[in-house]
């Protein structure tokens, strides 16, 4: 094991993972929230009910979500090329991650919103609030704690997705563990990466739980 050689590579891999994960959390989180709200709002009986739009969104989420990510990467190839200009590299890979994260998070958001008492939405409506205001001042604040937990869950999922970045030459910690550890029969390197990932996940989960508990203190 040559740590003088490996350490800079490990830092580089960690940077790549941070790049992929943070961008995905930002973009996928935002778009997923929007899509989840769209699903919730257009559901029959809800604020902006619209059978057709709901059916389309619902179908899209149902189709995309269960596809194994490694297959999804390939299937998304043409779109990735159209948007990013290439099907390989960290940008192309992050694009696919954002896409998948959007759909995964959308369902989580929708499920959390459904659990809100429709009575409070009705009360806001009775007070003359517009749908946009209701989203901002009722739906999101009322479901904040579960939304934070859902977002924490999304983080773990995204970190998981990023592990196969090596397939598209995106690098990252997963790629490092495979190239420098697995293929070199250097189990210590793999173990170090695993420990790093476990620590990160634990820290984020702890942070998420704490924030959710704070949001629930009412």
Partner 1 sequence: MPAATSGIIRFEGATKVFPGRGKGAEVRAVDEVTLDIREGEIFGVIGQSGAGKSTLVRLINALERTTGGDVVVDGVSLGSLSEARLRPVRAGIGMVFQQFNLLASRTVSGNIAYPLEVAGWPRAKREARVAELLDFVGLADKAGVYPSTLSGGQKQRVGIARALATNPRILLADEATSALDPETTRDVLDLLQRVNRELGITVVVITHEMDVVRSICHRVAVMERGRVVEVGEAYQVFSSPRHDTTRRFVATALRDRPSPEVLARLRTRHTGHIVTVGVDEVAGSSAVLTRTLREHGVDGTVVFGGITEVAERPYGSLTVELVGDGGSVEAAVAALRAVTWVDDHGTAADPRKVRGVGQQDAPDADPAGPPDPGAPGEGLPGNGPFGGQTWLTGGIDL
Tokens (6 digits) for 96 = 């696919």
Tokens 């902006």 found at: 48
* Per-position x/- string for 131-160, each x denoting binding to partner 1 as judged by CB under 8 A, each - no binding: --x---xx--xx-x----------------
- Contact with partner 1 (CB under 8 A) among 59, 63, 79, 120: 120
Separation of alpha carbons 41 and 110, rounded Å: 9
Choose between 71 and 127: whose C-beta lies nearer to partner 1.
127
Stretch binding partner 1 (CB under 8 A), from 49-57, 96-104, 120-128, 200-208: 120-128
| Residue selected from 86, 130, 184, 202 as contacting partner 1 according to rule CB under 8 A | 130
Name which of 100 and 212 has its Cβ closer to partner 1: 212
CA distance 108 to 89: 29
Which residue from 52, 71, 127, 185 is in contact with partner 1, where contact means CB under 8 A?
127
CB of 49 to partner 1, least distance (A): 12
Complex with partner 1: residue 110 or 142, whichever CB lies closer: 142
Task: Print the binding letters for residues 34-63 with partner 1: x by CB under 8 A, - otherwise.
Answer: ------------------------------
Using only C-alpha atoms, what is the Rg of the chain? 20
Please classify residue 71 by burial: count the beta carbons closer than 10 Å to its beta carbon, then call 0-12 exposed, 13-18 middle and 19+ buried: exposed
Residue with smaller CB distance to partner 1, 12 or 122: 122
- The reply to whether 79 sits near partner 1 by the rule CB under 8 A is no
What is the largest distance, in Å, between two alpha-carbon atoms of the chain?
68
Task: Tell me how many residues contact partner 1 (CB under 8 A).
Answer: 20
Q: Is 180 in a helix, a strand, or coil?
A: helix
Q: Which of 22, 114, 123, 195 binds partner 1 (CB under 8 A)?
A: 123
> H or E stretch including 24?
helix 3-42
Provide, rounded to whole angstroms, the least separation between the CB of residue 45 and partner 1: 10
Cα 121 to Cα 215: distance, rounded to the nearest angstrom = 19
User: Rounded distance, CA 128 to CA 204, Å?
Assistant: 39
Contacts of 143 (CB under 8 A, 6+ apart): 112, 113, 115, 116
Give contact residues for partner 1 (rule: CB under 8 A): 117, 119-120, 122-130, 133, 137-138, 141-142, 144, 215, 218
């Amino acid at each position: 094991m040559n740590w003088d050689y490996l350490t800079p590579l490990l830092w580089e891999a960690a940077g790549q993972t941070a790049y992929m994960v943070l961008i995905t959390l930002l973009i996928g989180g935002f778009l997923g929230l929007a899509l989840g709200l769209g699903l919730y709002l257009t559901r029959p009986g809800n604020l902006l009910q619209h059978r057709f739009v709901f059916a389309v969104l619902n179908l899209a989420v149902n189709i995309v979500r269960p596809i194994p990510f490694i297959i999804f990467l390939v299937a998304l190839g043409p779109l990735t090329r159209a948007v990013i200009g290439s099907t390989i590299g960290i940008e192309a890979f992050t694009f696919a991650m954002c896409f998948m994260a959007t759909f995964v998070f959308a369902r989580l958001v929708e499920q959390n919103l459904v659990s809100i008492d429709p009575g409070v939405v009705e009360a806001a409506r009775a007070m003359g609030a517009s749908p946009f205001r209701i989203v901002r001042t009722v739906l999101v604040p009322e479901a904040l704690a579960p939304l934070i937990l859902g977002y924490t869950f999304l983080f773990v999922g995204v970190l998981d997705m990023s592990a196969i970045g090596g397939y598209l030459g995106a690098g990252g910690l997963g790629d490092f563990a495979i190239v420098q550890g697995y293929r070199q029969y250097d189990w210590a390197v793999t173990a170090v990466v695993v420990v790093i990932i476990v620590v990160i996940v634990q820290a984020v989960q702890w942070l998420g739980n704490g924030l959710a508990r704070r949001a629930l203190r009412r």
